Amino acid sequence: MYSSFKGKDAIYSGLSDGLIVPFALATGMASAGIQHCNIFLWAIIAGLAGSIFMAIAGYFSAKATDNPEAEIKKLQRIFDNIGLHKDYQQKAIDDVRKEYTSLEFNGKSIISPAKNAWVTFISYLTGSFLAGFPYLIFNNTKYALTGSAVITGLLLYAVGYYYNRHNNAHTA
């Protein structure tokens, strides 16, 4: 049903976050009476900054799936530092280990960390551009805000729909 591409989650998270953050920034700036061209510029700048940070997070997230035992040891050190009783630590560690082994990829990264970072980066930047695009084409900030709200709303709905389809989630 779906292609063999394993970066769909990176696309979904990057695109949805890339739509929301610049849209919120642009909405605030439009409400403050900032000119449309400046709003577009700041939406792109926010998108670029956000995409860099999301890409870094995506890289380390994918890297963590490559070595679950190292992540479990880090978790155990955290539990030791906060003084969690050994019995509770072991139960939590066993639950985490069980989660790792039950995942589809069985301890191997679904997508390489570098590819995950790039896919997240491009997805976030794309969402930012789409949320800010109406401020580039409309001279009237009110029309641009309306256009941005429509584009952002429709795309967030589409991303949510395909995310749920991809994850076989059933809604009532």
**Dist. CA 92–CA 103, nearest whole Å:** 17
Backbone angles phi, psi at 112, to 5 degrees: -65, 145
Per DSSP, helices labelled H in 103-140 are: 113-137
- Reported as a pLDDT band with limits 50, 70 and 90, residue 22 is very high
Backbone angles phi, psi at 106, to 5 degrees: 45, 55
Mean pLDDT for the chain overall: 85
Residue-wise pLDDT for 38-86, tens only, equals 999 999 999 999 999 999 998 888 887 777 777 788 888 888 888 888 8
**Dist. CA 114–CA 110, nearest whole Å:** 12
> The tokens 């050190």 sit on which residue?
77
Q: Which stretch of 48-52, 137-141, 161-165 has the lowest confidence by average pLDDT?
A: 161-165
Distant-in-sequence, close-in-space partners of 133: CB < 8 Å, separation ≥ 6 = 40, 147, 148, 151
- Rounded to an integer, the average pLDDT of 81-104 is 79
DSSP conformation class of 108: S
Residue 83 corresponds to which tokens in the numbers above? 């003084």
Asked whether residue 7 carries a pLDDT value surpassing 90, the answer given is no
Residue count of the chain: 172
Residue 151 corresponds to which tokens in the numbers above? 């584009």
Residue 94: which of 67, 75, 66, 107 has the closest Cα? 75
Asked whether residue 1 carries a pLDDT value surpassing 50, the answer given is no
Backbone angles phi, psi at 19, to 5 degrees: -80, -45
pTM: 0.75
Side-chain-side CA neighbours of 157 within 13 Å: the count stands at 6
